[in-house]
Amino acid sequence: MILTKGLMEPSFSPLHPELSPDVRIIDTFSDHFSFNHSGKNDNQCLQQLDSMVIESSLLQSTAIVTIDASIKNDIATSISHMHISNQPLTKTIHYAAFITSAEAELFAIRYGINQASAKESISKIIVVTDSIHVAKKIFDPTSHPLQIHTVAILKKLCYFFSRNSNNIIEF
């Protein structure tokens, strides 16, 4: 992120050092992240989520982060739940005005990743979202309007992946 002189508002630069090919997360850690799109009906999707939660409840090194965001009357609400085995479920709600739903989703994803990756014992983060197209934008190396937000997420993921070569994230 680069601050423009005088305005002090963030603006995106495709030449930012963190987006250069030799440090791009998509090139360096391509085997550390994956996307699982569930094109199934609601019952099958719920069964898949149930089994994923039950399976991961046995593993203290897995964090499940569920994300949702919505906008009503120009107020965005981002909700993040995090589940880690033998720990209380945490729920966080954030509000913001005059942002897009994609920005709200990215913020919720960023917050969830920050919380899960801050725990040293976590080696696998599962992000459950109904906006998989927004999550894929995080790893899109082309210039796009949401990229200023994705740089912050990529910095955190780069640290998370560098901390242990077995660390992974699934969407």
140 DSSP 8-state letter: -
Does the reported pTM lie above 0.85? Answer: no
Helices 101-117/147-163 angle, 10° precision: 20
Return the percentage of the chain with pLDDT > 70, whole number.
82
Based on the number of CB atoms within 10 Å of its own CB, is 154 exposed (0-12), middle (13-18) or buried (19 or more)? buried
pLDDT digits (tens, 9 = 90+) for 124-161: 999 998 888 888 888 887 777 888 888 888 889 989 99
pLDDT digits (tens, 9 = 90+) for 81-103: 999 988 899 999 999 999 998 99
Kindly report the average pLDDT of the chain as a whole number.
82
All structural domains of the chain, each given as residue ranges with its CATH number in brackets, are: 2-170 (3.30.420.10)
Average pLDDT over residues 46-58: 81
Strands 10-11 and 2-3: antiparallel
Residue 148: per-residue pLDDT = 80
